[in-house]
Chain A
Amino acid sequence: MREKKSQDNSLSIQKVSILEKISSYFKALFHKKPKIEPQKELTEIEKSKNNFWKNIKLEEKLEDQELLELQRKVATKEINIEDLEIEEIKRLTELYKRQTERIVRKIEEVEAEAEIINMKISRLKGENIE
């Protein structure tokens, strides 16, 4: 009698287990994968990235072309710095400072972009392993 009762209990446990399996199978079958939101986030990053380079190019364009030409001539030693007026030397110094400030921003931007690219590479590698 006790043996029969024990067998009945075992059967009911098996039934529950089978029902759970079926239930989780259908859940997995009809479960929609959530849309990947980070993709949207990446598009926003792309936009701000493009704006950054546009602004930098604009700033570079707004520099005094004659001053840039003078800078080039001094750099190639076509003109000796000592032959320039103090005011011209000071203007060239300020130009270098502005260019340094811009290039520091460029470094930060490229580093940030490289980080995103590395994230994408890691994600792709992860997907390939799966």
Chain B
Amino acid sequence: MNEEKKLAIEKFYEAKQEYEGKEKIFNEINIKYNRANKTLREAQNIGGKENEGEEITR
């Protein structure tokens, strides 16, 4: 394998790793957001039992 390809693969893995790191953060934040949203719905008492546990998929 030539040097240029090695470098391209290295950069590929760097970009992939960065994306996966951010994706993990996003998923964690989204879980917190859904929890807060559920708390708000319960506080507003809208939707009753039907909407309990409803999550918003981004």
Report A's interface with B, CB cutoff 8 A. Answer: 53, 81-82, 86, 89-90, 92-94, 96-97, 99-100, 103-104, 106-107, 110-111, 113-114, 117-118, 120-121, 124-125
Q: By DSSP majority rule, is chain B's interface helix, strand, loop, or mixed?
A: helix
Write 20 A-B pairs (CB below 8 A) sorted by A numbering: A81-B12, A82-B9, A86-B8, A89-B8, A90-B8, A90-B12, A93-B8, A93-B15, A96-B16, A100-B18, A103-B22, A103-B23, A110-B26, A110-B33, A113-B33, A114-B29, A117-B33, A117-B37, A117-B40, A121-B36
Q: Check B36–A117 contact: CB distance below 8 A.
A: yes
Q: Check B16–A121 contact: CB distance below 8 A.
A: no
* B50 within 8 A of partner (CB): no
Complex-state Cα separation, A100 to B43, whole angstroms: 35
Interface size on B, residues (CB 8 A): 26
Complex-state Cα separation, A70 to B8, whole angstroms: 16
Complex-state Cα separation, A93 to B15, whole angstroms: 6
Q: Check A53–B33 contact: CB distance below 8 A.
A: no
**Given A96-B16, A114-B32, A125-B43, 5 other A-B contacts at CB below 8 A?**
A92-B12, A93-B8, A94-B15, A103-B22, A110-B26
One digit per residue, 1 when the CB lies within 8 angstroms of any chain A CB and 0 when it does not, for chain B 32-51 equals: 11001101100110000000
Chain A residues with CB under 8 Å of B40's CB are: 117, 120-121, 124
Q: By DSSP majority rule, is chain A's interface helix, strand, loop, or mixed?
A: helix
Complex-state Cα separation, A93 to B9, whole angstroms: 9
Chain B residues with CB under 8 Å of A103's CB are: 19, 22-23, 26
What's the minimum C-beta distance from A66 to chain B, rounded to whole angstroms?
A: 17
Complex-state Cα separation, A94 to B11, whole angstroms: 10
Name which of B37, B43, B44 has the most chain A CB atoms within 10 A of its CB: B43
